[in-house]
Structure 1
């Protein structure tokens, strides 16, 4: 017999999180697993599948281990500094980040494993102040955890099998404001830290070794 829809008059109320209901499969919990930090519960098989993609609670985003992404492994991240001023940060110089990736072969987890992807290089800018240095540390950690780039289809060119940004926004121009991916943009440094936090990259994990098997 099928379950009665909880929205129908007189139907039973569907239990919420923590009441025997798994928000992943939207059904009763089978072989309950409760996460030790946040105490949210799910079907053991459901949360195991979620953790294969991202080791974080799907309710509160508490992380359980390092999140390692699908960024190509053969890239580099180089940092230099100069005394040019970014609009809105005239009291300090500029941090220049150069990312470089040669062409390579897609791995399991990429859209077309075994096919080649094109190489690329990207340059980004941060203010060389306390907050900018903090963001740089976080970006370095995210790069080491393979979280800043992935292989897919470019949103700007429509080309497939290319290296693309992976939901952590960078300032690729020094000027022009947000519409040109540049400065001034007073809220950018806070926003990018929120984006990194959503991937489990925070100041308290920066000093820990990267577990690339997670």
Structure 2
């Protein structure tokens, strides 16, 4: 979904403020066709992003009708829809096919219409910008339509089998994964391109059974696609410009349960498979 920004109301230092804002909201994009300022992203990301952007810039950045379209500052009905003016509910059927010739990203007439795997259609330029900012994920149904690649710095992933069982898996040994991401220089997609980042060595554990070995191979694919780590601020130390875990859950301790990122945790393997599936890895 895409909405025009109220560009005339932006302060002189808006460019720098927008740059900092976008580094915190990778799922949101600012730009658009013909140089017009637009904000684009998934509906669930646009509302909070607009709220923060208005606080940063000290004033409204969207027209009221556009705020309604993204369900901004609206309460929800019992069926999960957002209450709109006139009593209509977002997500309800209004009849007709008014938007069948309109790109749902730029909300304009299609230019070089492209259809993706899930059959949704977008402008070629809008689709390119979407992939660059969010990866190949349909903004309407979240289907992955291409190979996702992250911004993980170069490094290595290795693993070894041990005889020692993990809590909750008494009938098999364990797999110890070692990730080694050396210190280096941040790239274009990182918070501070050209500046150094601090590397890490991390260990993670899986049961050495059929499902554990399958998850290992899925994690290997995710590592090859640069999705396991990123560069940012450490939640543990507060230090910036560090290699940190991305959003794929790992068990970094053999014991202590979920609160300690360890075992036993009966649902862990299923959760990590679902997370990887959402990234097109299954």
Same fold (TM over 0.5): yes
Alpha-carbon RMSD across the aligned residues, in angstroms, is 2.6
Structure 1 residues 9 and 106, CA, compared in 2 at 3 Å: closer, same or farther? Answer: same
Within 5 Å, which residues of 2 pair with 1:17-166? 19-25=100-106, 27-31=107-111, 33-53=113-133, 54-73=135-154, 75-166=155-246
| Structure 1: runs of 5 or more not aligned | 203-214
Structure 1 residues 44 and 122, CA, compared in 2 at 3 Å: closer, same or farther? Answer: same
| Structure 2: runs of 5 or more not aligned | 1-62, 70-83, 89-93
Structure 1 residues 46 and 170, CA, compared in 2 at 3 Å: closer, same or farther? Answer: same
Q: Determine if contact 2:103/2:109 at 8 Å carries over to the other structure.
A: yes
Q: Determine if contact 1:17/1:23 at 8 Å carries over to the other structure.
A: no
Q: Distance in 1 between matches of 2:255 and 2:97?
A: 48
Q: Distance in 1 between matches of 2:101 and 2:184?
A: 46
Deviates more, 1:154-163 or 1:2-11: 2-11
Q: After superposition, what is the alpha-carbon deviation per residue over 1:151-180, rounded to whole angstroms, capped at 9, x for unaligned?
A: 111122211000011100100000000000
Q: Distance in 2 between matches of 1:180 and 1:24?
A: 41
Structure 1 residues 29 and 87, CA, compared in 2 at 3 Å: closer, same or farther? Answer: farther
RCO comparison, higher one (Cα < 8 Å, 6+): 1
Q: CA deviation at 1:200?
A: 1.3
Q: After superposition, what is the alpha-carbon deviation per residue over 1:105-132, rounded to whole angstroms, capped at 9, x for unaligned?
A: 1111111011101121100000000000
Which structure is higher in helix share? 2
Q: Please give the TM-score of this superposition, normalised by the length of structure 2.
A: 0.64
Q: Determine if contact 2:192/2:241 at 8 Å carries over to the other structure.
A: yes
Q: Distance in 1 between matches of 2:176 and 2:123?
A: 46
Structure 1 residues 111 and 173, CA, compared in 2 at 3 Å: closer, same or farther? Answer: same
Q: Please give the TM-score of this superposition, normalised by the length of structure 1.
A: 0.83
Q: Determine helix, strand or coil for the equivalent of 2:86.
A: coil
Q: CA deviation at 1:65?
A: 2.4
Partner of 2:85: 8
